[in-house]
Amino acid sequence: MRYIIIEDEQLAANRLRSLVEKLKPEYEFVTKFDSVESASISLPALSYDLLFMDIQLADGLSFDIFDQIDIKKPIIFTTAYDEFALKAFKTNSVDYLLKPISEEELGNAINKYETNFDKPKPKTIGGDLDSLMKALQPSGKERFVVKVGEHLKTVESKNVQLVYSQDKGTYLFTDAGKRFLVDYTLDKVEDLLNPSHFFRISRKFIININFIKDIIAFTNSRLEIVVDHFDEDQIIVARERVGDFKDWLDR
């Protein structure tokens, strides 16, 4: 397992590397970066499995790296600041450790990485078994983390009546009649949700089949959907999506 450290404090980087070597001597250290610029330039060309990433770097926040390159590898955040926890959670985050990091905390984070990310994938004649199982039994994202004031809470996907875009924001609308802003585009939410339960009816709306109260014929061969409590706008199935929508309902 190969890892990279992104940290602008040399003492902190050295201590982190020493702890990793003590806990996992088989892990291979690749290199260290101390800035957004150096990491953004060099990371795409490197082979690695795990990132240890500080948040406050010499030339900005490490989140700025995500704006410049696509990082798909898991990350263990190591920082002195707790106010970035929500933003870190929305990346490929394994864990969020506050400095000074203890050996026990780091060990727990690495164990979490090995449990959830570092698993060999069994193969079948037809290809990857995990992909096959997902195709046969699509599950989708189970919950979303949202911010309410200064607090974080989770919203279960099964309780989301619909998802919609408004004023460049994406909102979950629940069966309790409440809406929550999420830090995803509508396209991304569509990819995350279980396609057996959720359908993209237009550029603005994704609907949950379990909360459709009525479907009404609308102008220009479109359909109007009714759900409880939602009165901010009409929920209209786009004309070009009506056929697919009916097929989806009739499965």
Average pLDDT on 81-88 reads 56
Q: Return the structure tokens found at 225.
A: 């959907």
Instruction: Give pLDDT, residue 39.
Output: 93
Could you tell me if 241 and 202 are in contact, meaning their C-beta atoms sit under 8 angstroms apart? Answer: yes
pLDDT grade for 118, boundaries at 50, 70 and 90: low
pLDDT grade for 4, boundaries at 50, 70 and 90: very high
Instruction: Give pLDDT, residue 96.
Output: 82
Q: Return the structure tokens found at 21.
A: 């070597």
Instruction: Give pLDDT, residue 89.
Output: 55
Instruction: Give pLDDT, residue 80.
Output: 76
The mean pLDDT value of the chain amounts to 86
User: For residue 159, is it left (φ>0), alpha (ψ between -120 and 50) or beta?
Assistant: alpha
* pLDDT tens, residue by residue, 121-134: 444 444 444 444 44
- Say how far apart CA 235 and CA 223 lie, in whole Å: 8
Domains of the chain: 2-116 (3.40.50.2300), 136-249 (2.40.50.40)
pTM above 0.85, yes or no: no
If one counts every other C-beta atom within 10 angstroms of the C-beta of residue 10, the result is 10
For tokens 């250290």, name the residue: 29
* pLDDT tens, residue by residue, 181-234: 999 999 999 989 998 899 999 999 999 999 999 999 998 889 999 999 998 899
- Output b/e per residue, 93-108; b: 16+ Cβ within 10 A: ebbbbeeebeeeebee
Instruction: Give pLDDT, residue 133.
Output: 44
Average pLDDT on 3-25 reads 94
* pLDDT tens, residue by residue, 54-75: 988 888 888 899 889 988 899 9
Per-residue pLDDT at 93 exceeds 80: no
